Structure 1
């Protein structure tokens, strides 16, 4: 009798990712936001002007930052692959999470392949009368690689480590996106689009990771471990919301007072600060949202 009750109790225990629709909806929202970013900052003259102005203003707003960021960008591909491969290999060999490792690698490949297809084959950059480069650069490949490497680590670690992984990985991804902007490799929208590509793939990969790794996607909730502290996600939310708010306010202010007639000739580089703020805002907001969703969708350990 007690064995039957125990079996029934175990049957009633919710699985990890008990609301798969949330992951699918989140992935869809990232895709929609990606499409809007492309339309707003590539297909329209106003968006092209703002994005191009931010890129040109970066050249004189932060000239001393380019050399160290160039060194960071040069090492970024190898560093991203090395970090992600090291963590995935450790988890696979020591914890025997083979499905999670395959899904994490698939997330990296899927995100980077999507970026290359979008940038080089599917999306174009129409002439809207803005003096700019005539080829499309959205999304950023370097930013996608860095963010997807961080996302892969986020997927394979246990729930207690995910809040920390979200904060550290988000910081790494934002630093990569900001570096491509400050070093004049990409416009702000390129980095934002890369975050959204990775966000969409991470949510799909996360759903599979939790369903195939139901046994180890379990925890006692936020605060059970120092890496599971809510402070990590609080930091991400604070940086993300502040970045988004500042970016939008600066953008609207420039539009209200009227931008400079030629991109990059403004006396105060407000488009630059708006673009940099948006990179910070989107990167950390996605990290915070992922940390919260994965935390609430992990199984709770039975008392």
Structure 2
């Protein structure tokens, strides 16, 4: 992270192009000493963006290795899916209709909000980059699922008829639409956008699992794919839009309602609680000792594990995105008084 240098008086004003600190003289304080406002450029720590993207990709690979290529992972996913299949038989009417349409509803709503923001704010370059990230996320999911990530046919009795389903295409579509909107809003609105968007994206993840379209880990992978491209696009947008990717001095003591740190805290707390709940449900069902490819019972605990594991990581992913973008947004700070 670039270190701040002392503010320098610039009566003529300073430039506002990307990659540059902007210094503007402010009114003299009560003591008569001039104070300068320093603006740190957005996306100033390239190394942090590269590291964040690399960690996201590594987590995606870890999810694949644990839940697709190992005996234990495949069995855990299979029993969770079997539990959902058993409960799906009891769902009828409007509930099934909502679950069937939920991915499309959330995805179309996200695209609609994105288009409104594009026209209203006229951030044409940012809109193009965000749209490209949305398309890249969905394309990446299809490439990974159908060509890159292979599901081995292990000798564990788990049926292979469905083949590889990681990442989830429905969940990627919804999560990537939310990320596109997240990229387009100003920093003061990003925490709220992340919180509300995470609820909708993870609702799609939960619904996709309950409908037995995907295994729980498929949704986790989808959130990570959307986050990866959100980071790539976010770096480009913040570097090329320094004039609107800025948080002012007011946000430190009196945060904007849409940018309050409590939104991030709520996502972290809810996501962590869901992950702990997923672990508790799995252990309550007997843990690894109870895993079998021929269950003679349908455990509600495995169903609980599946629902929580399909949603909790999504909340954590959006919490991490919000916090990271908060840190890397431009900042105005008052420099020390000058003699």
After TM superposition, list the pairs within 5 Å mapping 1:268-279 onto structure 2: 268-279=299-310
After TM superposition, list the pairs within 5 Å mapping 1:66-105 onto structure 2: 68=94, 70-76=96-102, 78-105=104-131
TM score, norm. by length of structure 2: 0.81
Q: Deviations over 1:39-82 (max 9, x none)?
A: 11111111100001000111234654575554235434543443
Q: Which residue of 2 aligns with 1:161?
A: 189
Q: Is the 8 A contact 2:102 2:207 kept in 1?
A: no
Q: Which residue of 2 aligns with 1:176?
A: 204
1:263, CA displacement in angstroms? Answer: 4.9
How many residues in Structure 1 have an aligned counterpart in Structure 2?
303
Q: Which has the higher helix share?
A: 1
Q: Distance in 2 between matches of 1:101 and 1:89?
A: 8
Q: Distance in 2 between matches of 1:143 and 1:263?
A: 29
Q: 5+ residue gaps in structure 2?
A: 1-7, 16-20, 24-37, 335-339
Matched, 1:54 2:80: yes
Q: Is the 8 A contact 2:246 2:330 kept in 1?
A: yes
1:142 to 170, 177, 184: 170
Q: Distance in 2 between matches of 1:67 and 1:42?
A: 33
Q: Is the 8 A contact 2:76 2:291 kept in 1?
A: no
Q: Which residue of 1 aligns with 2:278?
A: 247
Q: Is the 8 A contact 2:110 2:174 kept in 1?
A: no
Q: Distance in 2 between matches of 1:215 and 1:147?
A: 27
Q: Distance in 2 between matches of 1:283 and 1:106?
A: 21
Q: Is the 8 A contact 1:49 1:263 kept in 2?
A: no
Q: Is the 8 A contact 2:282 2:302 kept in 1?
A: yes
After TM superposition, list the pairs within 5 Å mapping 1:226-241 onto structure 2: 226-241=257-272
1:257, CA displacement in angstroms? Answer: 6.9
Q: Is the 8 A contact 1:167 1:236 kept in 2?
A: yes
1:265, CA displacement in angstroms? Answer: 3.6
1:284 to 310, 315, 324: 315
Q: Which residue of 2 aligns with 1:10?
A: 22
TM score, norm. by length of structure 1: 0.90
Secondary structure of the structure 2 residue equivalent to 1:13 = strand
Q: Which residue of 2 aligns with 1:185?
A: 213
Q: Computing the radius of gyration over CA atoms, which structure comes out larger, 1 or 2?
A: 2
Q: Name the CA shift for 1:218/1:68 in 2 (closer, same or farther; >3 Å).
A: farther
